[in-house]
Every structure is written in structure tokens, then in C-alpha cells.
Amino acid sequence: MVATSTESIPEIELNAVTKRFRNAAVAVEGISLAVDRGEFVTFLGPSGCGKSTLLKLVSGLSPVSEGTVRVNGMTPENARDLVSFIFQDATLLPWRTVEHNVGLGMELEHAARPARKERVAQMLELVGLSHVARRYPRQLSGGMKMRTSIARALVSRPRILLMDEPFAALDEMTRDRLNEELLRLYNEHKWTVLFVTHSVAEAVFLSTRVVILAAHPGRVAHQINIDLPWPRTAETRESKAFEEQVTQASRLLRGVYQG
Amino acid sequence: MKRQAILAFNSVVVFACLLGLWQALVSLNHLPPYILPGPLAVLHALRERYPSLLNSLLITTEEAAGGLLASIVAGVAAALVFAQWRRLRQLLYPYTILLQTVPIVAIAPLIISWAGAGIFPVMIVTFIICLAPIIANTTQGLISVDENLIHLFLMYKASPAQVLFRLRLPNALPNLFTGIRISAGISVIGGITGELFAGSTRVGEGGLGYAIIYASNQMETSYLFALVFAATVLGFSFFFIVTFLEWLALHNWHESSLPYLEE
């Protein structure tokens, strides 16, 4: 199934992609974008620029109207095994405990129970939630819910993560901490990440590249390569280079907002 | 705990005062028991006619419970079909509203003349009036699932059956219980209404509805009150049992149950 990745194939490739909704509204128009394996690409832009739509197109949850999307050279539907989607709110099943939420995917695939338990325990350990494995989602804080959601996404050993404003509902301190943890995991696993956010600082901190989109219709307005040194930690946010890149991105984004 | 005890005590005091007021009204005005019996006369009738009242109560319980259980099975099955096939839902859903608006008192005699004598036709009457709340509530729960949860299941390549039974059905559980709670209350009404027309469901005896007609014809007003009291207790018991089952099923995870206390 999985094509052996050669240098020439981008991990994710959008070619002149247009998405129209049934009511003829144009979400994105003529977007071309290539993302190499291991890149962390963040999308910024005003509402209506089609940030979330792009992730839906890459995951195959929503079909393109024109153009093509390729994931590791395959159609999005065929590449689903490589991809995990992390939604805006944690989207946990409230009637399942943390461990059973995390194990959901393996359960639906009828994975053997011991293997499932072991994998779930590993993932909970990874996101620091082992102590709340038996709790129900409503007994968790917003940050813990999001960690559960991340653990669930990692169970299938994805190569690609699609994250749609995952930390938008969290307070700033929790969000910063989760950003740092996400980068720690990213450096270990070398995923390719597409990440949607409204926060310029979050985008700069996380990414190797920031893509700024314009709205009505959604299209790529600017791309900025972020060359902050790795590993990035809490101190990174206090550096001069970070400040400069945030200022640069903010300026470009402001231009897009003003049309 | 202490606050609940005080609340329970207050309820008992209020109930006792109401009974006292009722008895005083009857005694001071010298009302004959066939017009309005006092609580003491009702208690007396209850003690005197205890065996036949219990018998009627059991018959009605059987009918109401049978009709209710059948409506839960059929209602959930119909809701699952409606959730899975939208076209079919649009086509048939209006008929469930018809079920709710049909005057049961008008069609109960018909059902009895079709289905014959005994307990069975009364169960059908109960089944009919219990069905609509179950279908309507369960369908609502099955189709109002967060879109992102559906997307999650699609990303996992879940089968339609997995989406239905692992996602939609648990999501609909609180709605299902709301439906059952409504139907549990009216199932007793269904049983009694059916009996008003079915008459004696076994030789020489019948449920509460039959006994109410009998007591009314015989001007045994005290016994009539005792029967009404029994019917009320029955409806309340059904409601209580369903509420308890609901708590068992939902208290761990659903917002409608008490908040989890810890930390």
C-alpha cells in the first residue's frame, strides 16, 4: 500500500485545487502547494479563507471540485492509513473512558485486546495521562481532553498529522505547554504536520513554514519560512529572532485582513 | 444528606396536612361517602377490598409493562431504520406523528373488536400510545451526532454498522431514556383506557380500568378512590424504575446526571 518515499514525491501535494460548496460558494480557489516529508506547515488567515477546508480536502473527508490532491502519491482516500486528524474540540466520545477513547481506532479495526491495551498505555504515558486512564471526558480539564485527543491520533502511528485549531479553546499557558510538548513529539517522530491556527505566535513557534491565506475566495497570499533554531523551548519565545518573525508574519497577515 | 432528610420530612408533613384538610372537609360538611369519601373511608375500602384490588393492579401492570416493552423494542428498531435511511425517514416519519394525534379512546373499541378479548388487545392499545415518544426521541438522538465525530469514524474507515452502533446509538441513549420516561407514564393510562372497553380480561375479573367502571356503576366511590390511588402509584413506580435505570446507564458520563464529586 505505502509507496516507498523517494526524494521526488512531496508528502502532500495540492495542484490547482478549487473547492466549491453545494450553494456555489467558493471555499478555496486554485491552490497549489507542495509539502515535503517532515515539514510543519501552519495556515493563518481570516475566517472564510478555507483553512479548515484545506485539511478536509487533504484527509479526503471532503472531495475537491477541481484539481488534484496527492498524499504520498496516493489519493487522500487511499492514504488514510498514513493520516490522523485532530479536530478543533477534542471530539471525545463522552460515554467512553480516556483509555477507551484512545483505543477506539484499534477497536474498530478489531485489533487484539492485549495489543490494544499495551498501545493505549504507551500513548497515555507519552502524553502524561496514565493517571486518568479510567476517567470520563467530562471529568477532565480542557488541556487533558486535548491530550487525550492527541494520544488517540498517535495510536495508529501516523506519518501525517492534520490539526484544525486544536488548542484554540485553551488558556494561553496550557496552549504554550502543549505546543512545547507537541514539538518534542514532532522531533521524535518526524511527522509531516498541517496545522491551522488563528495565533501568529503559535504559528511561528511551531512551524518550519507559515502559509498565509487570503479570503473570498481562499488562496495563498504569502509563505514565510521559519528558521528558528531547534529544539524550540519556552526560551525560544523570548528570543529576538522569534519576535522578528512574529512581527513579519503579523504585518503580512494584517495586509491580508485589510484586503 | 441532612438537607435531603429535611426535604423528605417537609414533603410528608405537607401530604399529611392535605389529607387532614380533606378529612375535615368531609366530616364537617357531613358529605355522604358516595359523593366524596374521606381518606379514612378510602383507607377502609383499600383494606376491605385488598385482594381484588391487588389482582386488578397486577393485571394492569402486566398490560402496561407488556405494551411499554413492545413499544421500546419496536420504537428503537424504527428509529435505527430512520437514522440509516434518510429517504425512508422523510417518507414514514409523519406517520409517527399520526400515531400521537390519533384519539386512542376512539380506536380502542375497534382494536378490541379486532383482537378479541383478554389482555392482548389492551397491550396493543398501550403499545400504540407509547410508540411515538420512543421513536421521536430516539430518532432525534441518532441523527444529532457531532459532525466531527462522524468524520473521526470515517477516518478510521468504520463500517456503517459501526457508525450506527458504536456512535449513533450511544449518542441517542439519553434521548431514548427521555422517550421511555414519557411512555412509562402514559403506559398506565393506555392500560386503563384499554380496559374501559375490554371489560373483564379474565373470567369475572379485570384490571384497574375494569374495576373503576365496576366501582362507578355500584356507587362504591371509596373503592373508586382507592383504585385511582393504586393507578397513580403504579404510574409513579414505572417512572421511578425508568429513572433509576437511566441513572445506572448515564450517571458516569452524561451531563443530566449529578456532577462527579472529587478533588
CA distances from A125 to A99, B28, B47, B63, B180 (A): 11, 77, 66, 54, 41
Give the number of domains in chain A.
1
Give domain status of residue B146, yes or no. Answer: yes
Q: How far is B173 from chain A (nearest CA, A)?
A: 10
* pLDDT value for B202: 60
Give domain status of residue A51, yes or no. Answer: yes
CATH number at residue A83: 3.40.50.300
* pLDDT value for A89: 86
* pLDDT value for A34: 94
Q: C-alpha grid cell for residue A203?
A: 504559528
Residues from chain A that touch B152, judged by Cβ atoms under 8 A, are 85, 87, 91, 104
Helices assigned H by DSSP within B116-207 = 119-143, 147-155, 160-162, 169-198
CA dihedral in degrees (B39, B41, B43, B48; nearest 10)? -170
Q: C-alpha grid cell for residue B256?
A: 443530566
Q: Which domain holds residue B3?
A: 1-24+35-40
Q: Are B130 and B78 spatial neighbours (Cβ–Cβ below 8 Å)?
A: no
Say whether both B114 and B237 belong to one domain.
Answer: yes
HSE-up of residue A94 (Cα within 13 Å, Cβ side): 21
Q: In chain B, pLDDT over 90 holds for what percent of residues?
A: 60
Give domain status of residue A132, yes or no. Answer: no
pLDDT at B201 over 80: no
Q: Which of A101-115, B26-40, B126-140, B187-201 has the lowest mean pLDDT?
A: B187-201
pLDDT at B255 over 80: no
What ipTM goes with this model? Answer: 0.89
Q: Which domain holds residue A51?
A: 12-92+159-257
Q: What is residue A163's three-state secondary structure? A: strand
Using alpha carbons only, give the angle A79, A115, A125 rounded to the nearest 5 degrees: 90
* pLDDT value for B260: 45
Interface test with B, best of A58, A139, A144, A160 (most B CBs within 10 A): A139
* pLDDT value for A187: 92
Task: Kindly list the residues of chain B whose beta carbon comes within 8 Å of any beta carbon in chain A.
Answer: 146, 148-149, 151-158, 162, 166-167, 170, 173, 252-255, 260, 262
Q: Which helix (H) or strand (E) holds A196?
A: strand A192-196
Give domain status of residue A126, yes or no. Answer: no
Give domain status of residue A218, yes or no. Answer: yes
Q: What average pLDDT does the segment A176-182 reach?
A: 92
Residues from chain B that touch A62, judged by Cβ atoms under 8 A, are none
Residue B167 DSSP symbol: I
Give domain status of residue B78, yes or no. Answer: yes
* pLDDT value for A7: 58
Q: C-alpha grid cell for residue A4?
A: 516507498
Q: Which residues pair with A224 in a beta bridge?
A: A210
B33 CB-near residues (< 8 Å, 6+ apart): B41, B221, B222
Say whether both B138 and B14 belong to one domain.
Answer: no
Q: In what order do the strands lie in the sheet with A160-164?
A: A83-86, A160-164, A192-196, A40-44, A209-214, A219-225
pLDDT at B261 over 50: no
Q: Record the pTM.
A: 0.85
